[in-house]
Each structure stands twice: as structure tokens, then as C-alpha cells.
Structure 1
């Protein structure tokens, strides 16, 4: 009886742990982009999303994530995260971020797209380097992902 209870508890624990809907740390230099399959190395342009079932998708560039969303849709996605350009390795909620497309700031896949945790910081970089600012919704429209 103890063996049956132990087995049932173990299975239940595995099910509960495997269904967490939260982001995982990106392992720079070893994780591959879910869209283009390149190794994720750029801590200023990486991104990721987590489905409502807890499945992780990591990307080497924001444009890879947005292009993936254009193909799959956004209905089943729970969490969207993008790298904060000014704090390499730090992720911010994609829906709250401000985006800058600027020829002076190169991104891994060539869209010159960077995310910023605050609009104020994006405006400072835009003033120095030029480019156009976008909200999350505007970005999805630009990439035909909405």
C-alpha cells in the first residue's frame, strides 16, 4: 500500500511541477532559438514566451519571437518576455516594453529591433541614434503577428 501511495504521490508531483506557467532562465551560449535554430548568445536582444500549458519557447532576437507568433498566433501564450536592451540578461514583460527599430543598433537577425523596459530610456536612445518607437501592439501589427 505504501508503494502505491508513493507512486501516486510521485506522479502527482511530476504533473504539478511540469505544468508550471513561468519562464525559465535562458542559457546563453547553449539554448537554441525556437524559430531560426541559432544559438542564443545576445543578452540584449533575446526573448521568450510561455504557453498557457507551460511550454517554453526561447529566441535569439525579438524579431524571431514576433515572426514565430505571426505563424502560430498568440491565443495560447500566457507570458511574453523580451530582453531589456540597457540591462543585458534582464527580461521585461513584452506587453509593457517599448521597442526601437534603429539602423544604428544591430540585432541578431537584422531587423535592428531592441526592447526597453521603459519608454523614457527608449526615448533617450532614440534621441542619440534615431529610429522609430513602437508599443507591443504596434510591433505585432508591423510584423503581421496580430
Structure 2
């Protein structure tokens, strides 16, 4: 009976370690997987989660996109970006609307911000100028083909 209980416990613990889900970014303490800069900006950070549950954090959307040039995009389960209007809140990158505006600096200088709602992106664009992009347009801009 003890062996059965231990086996079930071990299976449960191991399955928890491989869950495919986002993990909170420890702002100010964790470095960007791409450029190693400490992640402090809660409006521009991003995260990739592989189908095996491994998490990669980025200080900016452009770092995530550049990292994807060296990764198999089909191995990723989740593409996440911080919502510019909700600092620290990750949203689905494939559904986000992106704004490139030289009036809104991002950590790595691409002036790239993500929004979970297109309406919010349009409002910020009206105030700051710039160009709106979809996920597919952003992938094209970074020459990603997955």
C-alpha cells in the first residue's frame, strides 16, 4: 500500500512540473532569455511557454520575436505579451494588436507595444501616432514563418 501511495504521489508531483501554463514574471529579478537584461518594464515584457511547459521570459516583445528566429515556433504552446494598458498582465500574443510608435519607447528600442484590445491600441495610436500590426503582420516583419 505504501508503494502504491508513493507511486501515485510521485506521478502527481512530476505532472505538476510539466504543466503548460504561464508563470508570473519576477520583475526586477529575472533576466531576459534573449538579451539577459533584467526585466523591469511591466508594459513591454513577454513570455514563451513550450509544449513541454518550459518558460522563457523576455524584457520586450522584440526580444521574444528575435528569439523565435532561433526556435521552432511550432514547439511553443503559448505566446504571451504584456498588455500595455494593464501593466504586468500577460495576454495571448496571437490575438493581440501591436503598435509601433516612436513616441512610446520599449526596452530594446523597437517602439513596440502590445494591446489585448484593438480599441485600446487605436486610442493610443490616435494620441501617439504610429502603425498598428496584427500577430501575423508582426511575424512577417520579423521574418518568422511558422
With the length of structure 2 as denominator, give the TM-score of the two structures. 0.95
Q: CA deviation at 1:90?
A: 1.1
Alignment of 1:118-133 (within 5 A): 118-133=117-132
Structure 1: stretches of 5+ with no match in the other structure: none
Post-superposition Cα deviations, 1:26-57, rounded to whole Å, max 9, x if no partner, equal 11011111111111100000000111111101
Cα distance in 1 between the residues matched to 2:102 and 2:144: 22
Cα distance in 2 between the residues matched to 1:108 and 1:9: 45
Q: Which residue of 2 aligns with 1:107?
A: 106
Q: Which residue of 1 aligns with 2:73?
A: 74
Q: Which residue of 1 aligns with 2:28?
A: 29
Q: Which residue of 1 aligns with 2:4?
A: 5
Deviation beyond 2 Å, 4+ runs, structure 1: 4-7
What is the aligned-residue RMSD (CA, Å)? 1.1
Q: Which residue of 2 aligns with 1:139?
A: 138
Q: Give the 3-state SS of the residue equivalent to 1:72 in structure 2.
A: coil
Q: Which residue of 1 aligns with 2:38?
A: 39
Q: Give the 3-state SS of the residue equivalent to 2:23 in structure 1.
A: coil
With the length of structure 1 as denominator, give the TM-score of the two structures. 0.95
Q: CA deviation at 1:145?
A: 2.0
Cα distance in 1 between the residues matched to 2:107 and 2:115: 16
Q: CA deviation at 1:5?
A: 2.8
